[in-house]
Structure 1
Amino acid sequence: MPVLLDLRGAKSSDVEIGTSPISELQACLHSLAEPDHHLEYRSWLVKTDESLSPDLRHRLTRFAPLWARRRCRLLLPLSGPLDASVDTEIERIALLSERDFVEAAAYAIQGGDFDPRQAISQQGEFIAACEARSFSRGELAGLLMADPGEFRATLVRTLADCVEEFFAGEWERIHDRLRDEADQTRLRLRGLPLAELVSSVSPAAQPVQGGRAVRFDKLQNLTVSLHGNGVFLVPTIHGRPHLIIRGEAGFPVVVHYPVAWQSQPASIDEMQQRLTILSDPARLALCRHLVNEAITTSDLARRMNMTRPQVSRHLAKLRVAGVLTSEKSGRYVYHRVDVDKLMRIGVELLRAIVR
């Protein structure tokens, strides 16, 4: 179930690359609401959550359906240019027409596949559909329909309080990294055909249909046309490993992509290969020996009642899985399981699943 960007009628000049603090703030709010998706930021999440004032924490819990599952389009760049300040981007939310605001908020709150225009024309049905998903979604939907102006004012105030309480300092810390990523992406992609330009920001993307479209490996079945529309490529740090593609009518298309890892994240196929290797009973038994001490091939063969060639074949597989280290000392080569790499497989599996 891919996301397909239809490039017909679009050109490379339609693409803008830059930073968006409101997008990064939403990524922070998502990770605070869904910490199990972001294990690598656990210390930052715990520290930030503990620093929140009780009133702001209460409001973030109330508004969490806006960013917990489906990111709200309001908290992605609504218009250009990119690289605006967070205050400017919050002001754009405040100035958006009420209809556009309500439809964008309703689409995120409901969290399923539906026409957000129905939220205004069929308020009762919309609230009931949200209540069917969760109590918090139903409550938030009721607040939105009862008084959109107050809902927006409270949301804008909440975002401003987030900036004051934790995000201003975090944005100052990471802004240069994101700006450098955007600058490097511009230089790297200059002159590339549109399909290669768009797909190059993520290993989950590839040009298809002879360059007339880009396919993203996502758990969605969605086609977004770029014809007559701008495209924003926005890097994120706190959003990783998630790759977000949004293409609602009336707004620029946004590809919110994680900055490059030190190494590219493993694909689902690569993770399946690693797990298959590690699930073999003989290799699991070898790992039990190798996790505690460095051992030679001959010693492993004696302990496991195997031949040396058998042990060597299993060790080669563990090396392919990326969990084995081997070091020569004198005449002997000693093997050991790299515990840190073994533990990271769980995190990499999560990244591959939620990307």
Structure 2
Amino acid sequence: MSVHIDITGLRQERITFAPSPLGELCMALHAMSEPGHHPGLQGWVTGVTARLDPHLADRMCEADFLWRSTFSDLFVPYAGIPGRSTLPGDTLAEELDLLDKLTDEQFVDAAMEFTTCATSYSTGGPGPLTDAGIRQRALEQAAARGPRQLAFTERLLADPPRTRAWLRQFLEDCDEAFFAETWSRMHHQLATDARHKTDLLHRKGLAEALTSISSAVTLDESATRITVDKLGTGRTATQDGGLLLVPTTLGWPHLTVLYRYGWQPVVHYPVHNTPKIAAPTSLEQLNLRMTALSHPVRMRLCRSLARSAFTTSELTQVHGMTAPEISRHLGVLKKAGLITTRRRGRYVLHQLDVTMVARLGSDFLEGILR
């Protein structure tokens, strides 16, 4: 499972690294709604939440499904502008102006991304403003999700301009309440990262630039397709437009890809505020490790190998199994990267890599939230 971006024919000058204040505000709202996703931001979230005006906090809950469980494409409006080459604005006001340039159909479809009955995301088609059947299913699904979702959906479908005005005012109020100060501190780091990645792109090429984003983002040998390793499936193409790569300091561990039909592809990638401790584990490797640990015999072997190094012969005696059986299970654990081996004379000692096993919890969380 992964998201693919076809970049056939894409010229290097159409690849842009640029920060987005509106995208970062989306990440801020998400972190405040789901602080558990961002343990490193809990102090910041607590401080901001404590200072929030109660009325603004209530309004924040009114449409938090736009950023709590999925990042609505309303927060990357530049991607939906005709021509598929518009860049993020330098200021939040500029990006809100771009949001105003989306058609009512684009706005409603992106705002209803939290439902499963909206327009097919990657193939296009009619939306709830023009298709009565889709409209009715949208209302039914919103009702199933809760009264706030239903009230928002009813208002959105009845009067898109009014809802657009409400959202813009809400985002401007968030900017005044807390985001302007946050952005003033983060903008320099994001701009610096974008310049560094751009320089890397020009000096060493796209493959190196993508690797510097995350090991989860790769370029194929023909340099015509970007693959983002995610627990999801999607595909898009730059066609005659460009490719945008947007850094975020608040977004880790989320690595998001916009692949909406007709919109410019956008990769929103996290910039670590602290030195990276290790490259992200691929989902294939994560699955391999969890599968390896799911077998009861290998679990018992891990118990022994966590305490000391053992030879295959010693493990056969401890666990009452034949040498070929032990070797087979050790092979699975070694392939998954969970044990280390070292030679001592004519003996080969096996031991559990406790650090790697300890990482599984955080790797699993990073993988499913990526």
Provide the TM-score with structure 1 as the length reference.
0.77
Q: What is the match of residue 105 of structure 2?
A: 99
Distance apart, 1:163 and its partner CA: 0.9
Distance 2:118 2:208 in 1: 29
**Cα offset for 1:127?**
4.7
| Residue of structure 2 aligned with 1:144, choices 148, 156, 179 | 156
| Structure 1 residue 145, shift from structure 2 partner | 0.6
Question: What residue identity is the alignment partner of 1:258?
Answer: P
- Are 2:101 and 1:122 aligned? no
Q: Structure 2 vs 1, CA of residues 196 and 7 (structure 1 numbering), >3 Å: closer, same or farther?
A: farther
Question: Which residue number in structure 1 is paired with residue 182 of structure 2?
Answer: 170
CA distance in 1, matches of 2:186, 2:278: 20
The answer to whether residue 272 in structure 2 is matched with residue 264 in structure 1 is: no
- C-alpha change, 1:345 and 1:171, in structure 2 (3 Å) is farther
CA separation in 1, counterparts of 2:230 and 2:293? Answer: 26
**Relative to structure 1, is the Cα distance of residues 346 and 47 closer, same or farther in structure 2, using a 3 angstrom cutoff?**
farther
Shift of the 347–198 alpha-carbon distance from structure 1 to 2, 3 Å rule, reads: closer
1:22 and 2:22 are equivalent in the alignment: yes
Identity within the alignment, %:
28
Alignment of 1:204-219 (within 5 A): 204-208=216-220, 210-219=222-231
The aligned amino acid for 2:105 is R
Counterpart of 1:328? none
Q: What residue in structure 2 maps to residue 161 of structure 1?
A: 173
Deviations 1:192-216 (A, max 9, x none): 5556655653211222362221121
Match of 1:190 among 190, 202, 216: 202
Q: 1:145 to 1:84 in 2, by over 3 A?
A: same
Q: Is the contact between residue 118 and residue 138 of structure 2 (CA under 8 Å) also seen in structure 1?
A: no
- 1:311 aligns with none
1:131–1:64 distance in 2 versus 1, CA, 3 Å: farther
Per-residue deviation, residues 44-94 of structure 1 (Å, max 9, x unmatched) = 223323332222222221111222233211211516444611121122223
**Paired position in structure 2 for 1:131:** 140
AA aligned to 2:9 is G
SS in 2 for 1:121: coil
Gaps of 5+ in 1: 307-313, 325-336
Equivalent pairs, count: 334
Q: Which runs of 5+ in 2 are unaligned?
A: 80-85, 320-329, 341-352
1:90-121, CA deviations, whole angstroms, 9 ceiling, x for partnerless residues?
A: 22223433333223223x24256635732111
Amino acid at match of 2:278: S
The aligned amino acid for 2:130 is S
Structure 1 contact 16–233 (Cα < 8 Å) conserved: yes
CA drift at 1:235: 0.7
Pairing 1:1-150 to 2, within 5 Å after superposition = 1-78=1-78, 80-82=86-88, 84-106=90-112, 108-111=113-116, 114=119, 115=124, 117-123=126-132, 125-132=134-141, 134-135=145-146, 136-150=148-162
Q: Deviations over 1:114-136 (max 9, x none)?
A: 35732111256435335326124
Change (3 A) 1:118 1:77: closer
Q: Distance in 2 between matches of 1:249 and 1:283?
A: 49
